[in-house]
């Protein structure tokens, strides 16, 4: 019985891992830095397009006003509708979002600014988002979030639209996992793992533990 | 040592497995009709002492006849669940700095007494009815030192529980692109969700603005309770 539980658990872990591998690179654009809006904690153009195309209920590759009933997106849809035919195609959307993302060439000040708040304790993990794509080393396209023992990789947290309570719960669970894993492994093993992970990733930037959003209290001056 | 190790590992596996299974069974992932309003930092200047007058007219304090400095704005909107149903009985609070860039928080106003507009209420609240609608009369927000994006802070509570803290910014304002908090809202879609159009009220002779800002709450443990009301 216990074995079965363990097996199931492993299955879950492996599945999560393979999902991670299957995830396309977030920022396919040139230039090693995430030019995804907001850099860390943001999301690439591709991701934004996917989010919106989810409203394409009849799967014709276009968004009509019936499909996007949310008036808050009206302005975006109007900007995207290049040929003014009242329908927004995936291409039109991609074009607009690319254009608007480029107007913030450094990936925007999101989450990195020197004034960034301290982030409320315990929220750093999942809130931080998947981080920039890291350096352009061999690990650039590498398996993000493949830190051993990752409960839920950041992109999944994003995709599943976890609410704040869930994010906190996952962060707590992650902390437990990390702590328990640390107890099991010897110091050498941990060091070894760290080095392997770095080799993988070509930099620790992509770890999703980046400074993340300047969420938290923002008690620093000038962030009211 | 060995048995302990196994225990630990089992605990870990159980945790991981739970997360893995949850992934496959999370219901209604794609059933959401409305995108959730992103949460943003509360910032340091939520009033440390709430003003005596906390109504939804921030332009006039109590029985005063002297209005605040600034461009009057009628801020309206609805509070909705992600399924689109109005949230009744929610309390929405807003706070913002006055036209002279002073918040009603002693950490800010303490050193800016001469600068402060004493006629601006700085904070207001409103409880939604069955339509989920809210309404405020306030000023069009202005930039604040370190915050190039003019903004109004918003907090939504239900039954004393905080459901969302965010900020409303002005669509098309040039300061947004340079603003760290604006950037922290997430992708370009999320940024759309924290902006409102501040439009001139045509009939107004004193150049008033109107802004409509709908707020969509995410799934919370109380979600059923909300939509059941």
Residue among A201, A204, A41 at smallest CA distance from A129? A41
pLDDT band at A104 (very low <50, low <70, confident <90, very high): low
Give the integer Cα–Cα distance in Å for B136 and A91.
Answer: 39
Closest Cβ–Cβ partner in B5, B19, B26 for A12: B19
**Secondary structure (H, E, C), chain A:** CHHHHHHHHHHHHHHHHHHHHHCCCCCCCCCCCCCCCCCCCCCCHHHHHHHHHCCCCCCCCEECCCCCCCHHHHHHHHHHCCCCCCCEEHHHHHHHHHHHHHCCCCCCCCCCCCCCCCCCCCCHHHHCCCCCCCCCCCCCCCCCCCCCCCCCCHHHHHHCCCCHHHHHHHHHHHHHHHHHHHHHCCHHHHHHHHHHHHHHHCCHHHHCCCCCCCCCCCCCCCCC
CA trace torsion B22, B23, B24, B28 (10° rounding): 90
Tokens 């159009």 appear where? B197
Minimum CA–CA partner of B25 in chain A = A160
Chain B partners of A35 at a C-beta cutoff of 8 Å? none
Cα torsion for A54, A55, A58, A64, to the nearest 10°?
-140
A34-66 residue pLDDT tens: 333 433 344 689 999 999 999 998 999 999 988
Q: CB of B147 within 8 A of CB of B179?
A: yes
* Confidence (pTM): 0.61
| Chain B positions in Cβ-Cβ contact with residue A164 (cut-off 8 Å) | 39, 218
Q: Residue A147's CB: how many other CB atoms inside 10 A?
A: 19
Instruction: Tell me if ipTM is over 0.85.
Output: no
For residue A52, list chain B residues with Cβ-Cβ distance below 8 A.
189
Q: Scan residues 152-211 of B and list those with Cβ closer than 8 Å to A.
A: 153, 171, 177-181, 183-189, 191-193, 195, 197
B180 → closest Cβ in A13, A43, A116:
A116
Per-residue pLDDT tens over the stretch A183-224? 787 777 777 776 666 554 433 333 333 333 433 343 444 467
Question: Which residue is listed with tokens 């609410």?
Answer: A163
Which chain B residue lies closest to A215 (C-alpha atoms)? B41
Tokens 């993340």 found at: A212
CA distance linking residue B132 with residue B109, whole number of Å: 33
Is A37 in contact with B220 (Cβ distance < 8 A)? no
Find the closest chain B residue to A156 by CA distance.
B23
- Per the CB < 8 A criterion, the answer to whether B180 and A113 are in contact is yes
pLDDT-derived band at A132, boundaries 50, 70, 90: very low
Distance from CA of B3 to the nearest CA of A (A): 11
Chain A residues in contact with B215 by the CB 8 A cut-off are: none
Query: Which residues in chain B land under pLDDT 70?
Result: 1-32, 219-229
């Amino acid at each position: 019985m216990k074995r079965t539980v363990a097996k199931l658990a492993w299955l879950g872990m492996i599945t999560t891992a393979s999902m991670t591998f299957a995830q396309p690179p977030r920022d396919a654009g040139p230039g090693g830095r995430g030019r995804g809006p907001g850099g860390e904690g943001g999301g690439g153009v591709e991701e934004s397009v996917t989010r919106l195309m989810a409203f394409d209920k009849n799967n014709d590759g276009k968004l009509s006003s019936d499909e996007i009933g949310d008036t808050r997106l009206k302005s975006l849809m109007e900007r995207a509708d290049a040929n003014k035919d009242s329908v927004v195609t995936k291409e039109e959307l991609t074009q607009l979002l690319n254009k608007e993302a480029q107007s913030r060439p450094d990936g925007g000040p999101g989450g990195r600014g020197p004034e960034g708040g301290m982030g409320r304790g315990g929220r750093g993990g999942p809130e931080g988002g998947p981080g920039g794509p890291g350096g352009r080393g061999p690990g650039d396209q590498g398996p993000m979030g493949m830190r051993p023992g990752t409960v839920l990789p950041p992109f999944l947290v994003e995709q599943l639209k976890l609410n704040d309570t869930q994010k906190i719960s996952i962060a707590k669970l992650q902390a437990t996992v990390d702590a328990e894993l640390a107890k099991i492994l010897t110091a050498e093993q941990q060091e070894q793992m760290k080095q392997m992970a770095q080799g993988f990733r070509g930099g620790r930037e992509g770890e999703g533990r980046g400074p993340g959003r300047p969420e938290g209290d923002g008690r620093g001056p000038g962030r009211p | 040592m060995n048995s302990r190790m196994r225990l630990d590992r089992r605990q870990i596996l159980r945790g991981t497995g739970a997360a893995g299974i949850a992934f496959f069974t999370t219901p209604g992932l794609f059933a959401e009709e409305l995108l959730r309003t992103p949460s943003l930092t509360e910032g340091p200047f939520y009033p440390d002492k709430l003003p005596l007058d906390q109504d939804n007219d921030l332009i006039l304090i109590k029985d005063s006849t002297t209005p605040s400095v600034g461009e009057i704005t009628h801020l309206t909107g609805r509070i909705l669940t992600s399924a689109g149903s109005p949230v009744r009985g929610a309390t929405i609070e807003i706070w913002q700095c006055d036209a002279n860039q002073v918040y009603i928080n002693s950490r800010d106003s303490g050193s800016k007494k001469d600068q402060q507009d004493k006629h601006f209420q700085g904070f207001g609240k409103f409880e939604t009815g069955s339509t989920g609608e809210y309404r405020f009369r306030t000023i069009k927000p202005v930039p604040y030192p370190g915050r190039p994006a003019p903004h109004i802070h918003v907090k939504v509570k239900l039954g004393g529980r905080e459901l969302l803290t965010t900020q409303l910014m002005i669509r098309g304002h040039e300061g947004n692109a340079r603003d760290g908090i604006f950037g922290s809202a997430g992708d370009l879609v999320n940024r759309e969700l924290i902006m409102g159009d501040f439009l001139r009220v045509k009939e107004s002779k004193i150049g008033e603005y109107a802004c409509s800002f709908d707020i969509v709450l995410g799934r919370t443990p109380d979600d059923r309770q909300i939509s059941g009301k």
